[in-house]
Amino acid sequence: MGNCFKSSNNDDISLLRGNDSHDSALEPTPFVEPPPPYRTQPELQNRMPIYHPSPGVSRTATQLTEDEQIKIAQRLGLINHLPTGKYDGTNRKAKECVICMNEFCFGEQLRFLPCLHTYHKECIDDWLMRSFTCPSCMEPVDAALLTTYQTS
């Protein structure tokens, strides 16, 4: 998989072993011991996704206000309208994801923005949840998409 920030655990492991990014996709997921029952709650809390309703604000789902929940749900919907695909080596223009600075590997999930900039799906989705702009050209990802979605 991509060496993006959400998979930082995988990243650490592959770095310790000195592998490069091409191998990490082939590696089995690191074995995680099932937590003993009394640890279930804290473990779950640690794994709860963190949302960023506005730049610089980090909250878990339970801490979000109703407005923030709506905003995040809308954003998730918009992001899901953007095309995705697997890297097959034919994308001649982009070889590297500028967010994680790793080269695209065969089979990795990519997301294509309307401005034709391409990123790892995981990397760009993380950013789009914070700011609905393309990191490379700073254009709003798709104003038209936004209006149709909100009025329909």
Rounded to the nearest whole angstrom, what is the least distance from the CB of residue 25 to other proteins in the complex? 14
For residues 22 and 148, which CB has a smaller minimum distance to other proteins in the complex? Answer: 22
For residues 76 and 149, which CB has a smaller minimum distance to other proteins in the complex? Answer: 76
Burial of 87 (0-12, 13-18, 19+ CB in 10 A): buried
Type of residue at 6: K
For residues 36 and 93, which CB has a smaller minimum distance to other proteins in the complex? Answer: 93
Rounded to the nearest whole angstrom, what is the least distance from the CB of residue 98 to other proteins in the complex? 5
What residue ranges bind other proteins (CB under 8 A)? 3, 5, 8, 11-12, 15, 21, 55-56, 58, 98-102, 123, 126-127, 130-131, 133, 135-136, 138
For residues 5 and 149, which CB has a smaller minimum distance to other proteins in the complex? Answer: 5
CA atoms within 13 A on the CB side of 136: 16
Place of tokens 């011991």: 33
Q: What is d(CA 131, CA 58) in angstroms, rounded to the nearest whole number?
A: 13
Place of tokens 């050209």: 137
Rounded to the nearest whole angstrom, what is the least distance from the CB of residue 56 to other proteins in the complex? 7
Contact assessment for residue 106 and residue 88, using Cβ atoms and an 8 Å cutoff:
yes
Q: What one-character DSSP code corresponds to residue 133?
A: B
Rounded to the nearest whole angstrom, what is the least distance from the CB of residue 83 to other proteins in the complex? 20
